[in-house]
Amino acid sequence: MKKLLTGNEAIARGAYEAGCLIACAYPGTPSTEILENVSQYEEIRSEWSTNEKVALEVASGASIAGARSLVAMKHVGLNVAADPMFTMAYEGVNGGLVIITADEPGMHSSQNEQDNRLYAPHAKVAMVEPADSKECKDFIKHAFEISETYDTPVIFRVTTRVCHSKGIVELEERKEATIKEYTKDIKKYIMVPANSKVKHVEIENERLPRLRKYSNTTPLNRIEWGDKKVGIITSGISYLHAKEVFGDKASYLKIGFSYPLPDRLIREFADEVETLYIIEENDPYIESFVKAMGIECIGKELIPICGELSPGIIRQAILKEEEKESYEVDINVPARPPALCAGCPHRGIFYAVSKYKDKIISTSDIGCYTLGMAPPLGVGDISICMGAGITAGIGFDRVNQMADRDKKVFGFIGDSTFFHSGITGLIDAVYNGTNMVIVILDNRITAMTGHQENPGTGKNIVGQETPMVDIESIVKAVGVKEENIRVIDPYDLDETNKAVKEAYESEELFVIITKQPCALIKDIQRERRGLHCEIDQDKCRKCKTCLRIGCPAISFKDNVVSIDNQCNGCTVCLQVCPFNAIEFNGESR
Ligand SMILES: Cc1ncc(C[n+]2csc(CCOP(=O)(O)OP(=O)(O)O)c2C)c(N)n1
């Protein structure tokens, strides 16, 4: 049967057909739908892990125990999981182990543009790179086989366009991979220096040479001969862009197995073509290799290193003026700057804190709440990576003390991020001491990436009930004094303002936990259906105080303030109106 699948759906299908038994992930664009789709196959045990390191460690244990295991994450997730990956490279596998990294050239929803292909030579593990949905499915099966044949974890590298584009995929039956026997082998599975030293030599002298040979012979790397005046070495989505621009007016070396790169094949290809181009997104990964082989080629001299490629960009970069057939799409897309949604529970606390914004430093984190930095709320000085909302705050606070700066530090972190990498920071704050304020924004879901369950929601990926990990208990258990903890409803501005004032005035570590579910959770939307706030135009003095909460449902046009149907009646605007001009469900305050 044939089906139109996204790359992420095809990866999930490939894992199913390959007999994968264990799949773990932490959500992150553009990888999130991989596990969501895998979890629909009952044969595979799927788990949202607390973070990517945990995901890879669980999958590594499962691989050593004998099962084909898969782990998926966004590019920055691999930084978190790098620790187990580098040592699993030494230990090798029992059941196949595939590590999917979904990179984000163009940074549609990421904080950096790192090119994770560079991880493969660094960790010395094999790497596979599909270009479309069909390859996503087929290559996952190859990846498991490569992993088992060469005793290595395999990095499976995709990018946003590969993950989210759709293509036709031929579905096949699942081939059960039986759980392999586990035999105790401490020389392989316990990486103390004596064993690691042996393993490193083995990797250099045996595994990598064998993989190099494979790279030159595998059908994952293929030459497509066309006009030999132009030769293009490329991989992933760049291959499809290059084909669109050059068609059969060029020859291609299409790389699908990208570490180790196929040296013999590259030389063979380069020898036959007149001008050699390397077309790849972001870093000159292939190009550096080709140049190091002493082969002349053109790459980043013309092709941009920053951002995504597109056929248009390649055309502009390489083709002669007269060949640049170009077309423009004449649509004026209205700008939609990201903003906290109408009814977002993060708004109340940011509004309360915004009154102190000139007197504080706020270290934010990665999640919907990063948008607290946007005007008019404007709460946010720093955001680095998941977890740093607390820890960068600790560091800033230290220097504030040394420099006698009279600025309190407020660190913000979401519930999913708290479980991911905030707990260690909180412990550090207690252990090493700080008088900062930590605000944990518990909206009962991982909202930013599309509502995945997390340890605080009481449900697992397939909707079964699980124990609900309680944030307040953790905060108490690590030693934050009870009198310095407030659990508040951020829709209640009096309570929120009071907690923020107490926190600001406290001379000790202070924790505020806001508890109110994301307004977009389906059940919550259902519950709140019909609730709304409305401006009583007779009472409205157009003071625009309500606009200062930054709610996208409220607008000021033609000298009239109005609330549109995005409103779900959170009542924050009503509470800030100095003239009681906002009604809730037709009733005044
Ligand atoms: C290491 C890493 N993994 C995953 C992501 C993707 N990501 C961004 S924010 C976020 C979680 C946000 O959830 P939460 O902390 O609960 O805040 P919310 O968006 O619900 O306010 C995730 C998974 C990332 N940026 N970095």
Could you tell me if the CB of 367 is within 6 A of ligand 1?
Answer: yes
Atom of ligand 1 nearest to the CA of 416: 16
At 230, is the secondary structure helix, strand, or coil?
strand
Spell out, as residue ranges, where the chain has pLDDT lower than 70.
322, 325-327, 588-589
Could you tell me if the CB of 519 is within 6 A of ligand 1?
Answer: no
Q: Rounded CA gap, 589 and 571, in Å? A: 10
Query: Hey, which residues does 159 pair with through a beta bridge?
Result: 103
Q: Are 362 and 412 in contact (CB under 8 A)?
A: yes
pLDDT value of position 326: 65
Tokens of 286: 């292939």
pLDDT value of position 587: 75
Closest Cα to atom 6 of ligand 1:
28
Q: Where are the alpha helices (DSSP H) in 92-223?
A: 119-123, 133-150, 160-164, 186-189, 193-202, 208-217
In 171-309, where do the E strands start and end?
222-224, 230-235, 251-255, 257-259, 275-279
Q: How do residues 427-452 score in pLDDT, each as one tens digit?
A: 999 999 999 999 999 999 999 999 99
Closest Cα to atom 7 of ligand 1:
28
CB atoms within 10 A of CB 333: 6
CA of 386 to the centre of ligand 1 (A): 7
Closest by Cα among 206, 207, 209, 202 to 147: 207
Q: Rounded CA gap, 384 and 79, in Å? A: 13
Q: How do residues 285-341 score in pLDDT, each as one tens digit?
A: 999 999 999 999 999 999 999 999 999 999 999 987 767 766 677 888 888 888 999
Closest Cα to atom 2 of ligand 1:
77
Could you tell me if the CB of 449 is within 6 A of ligand 1?
Answer: yes
Closest by Cα among 94, 88, 572 to 340: 572
Q: Where are the alpha helices (DSSP H) in 22-118?
A: 32-38, 52-65, 75-91
Place of tokens 């605080």: 456
Q: Are 245 and 317 in contact (CB under 8 A)?
A: no
pLDDT value of position 349: 98
CB atoms within 10 A of CB 31: 28
Place of tokens 């991911």: 420
Closest Cα to atom 5 of ligand 1:
28
Find the helix or strand (DSSP H, E) in which 348 lies: helix 346-354
Could you tell me if the CB of 391 is within 6 A of ligand 1?
Answer: no
pLDDT value of position 327: 67
Could you tell me if the CB of 422 is within 6 A of ligand 1?
Answer: no
| Phi-psi category of residue 349: left, alpha or beta, with phi > 0 → left and psi -120 to 50 → alpha | alpha
Place of tokens 């970069």: 317
In 455-544, where do the E strands start and end?
485-488, 510-515, 533-535
Closest by Cα among 349, 345, 339 to 374: 339
pLDDT value of position 238: 98
List of residues 6+ apart from 300 with CB closer than 8 A? 284, 287
Note the Cα 220 to chain centre separation in Å. 27
Q: How do residues 463-497 score in pLDDT, each as one tens digit?
A: 999 999 999 999 999 999 999 999 999 999 999 99
Distances in Å between the alpha carbon of 330 and those of 313, 325, 327, 333, 392? 18, 16, 9, 9, 44
Q: Rounded CA gap, 434 and 509, in Å? A: 6
Tokens of 81: 């999981």
Q: At what angle do helices 208-217 and 263-272 cross, to 10 degrees?
A: 40
Q: How do residues 363-410 score in pLDDT, each as one tens digit?
A: 999 999 999 999 999 999 999 999 999 999 999 999 999 999 999 999
At 128, is the secondary structure helix, strand, or coil?
strand
DSSP string, 534-555: EE-TTT-----GGGGG--TTEE
Q: What is the pTM of this model?
A: 0.97
Could you tell me if the CB of 561 is within 6 A of ligand 1?
Answer: no
Could you tell me if the CB of 76 is within 6 A of ligand 1?
Answer: yes
CA of 36 to the centre of ligand 1 (A): 16
Percent helix, strand, coil in the chain, to 5, is: 40, 20, 40
List of residues 6+ apart from 58 with CB closer than 8 A? 22, 24, 47, 49, 71
CA of 212 to the centre of ligand 1 (A): 37
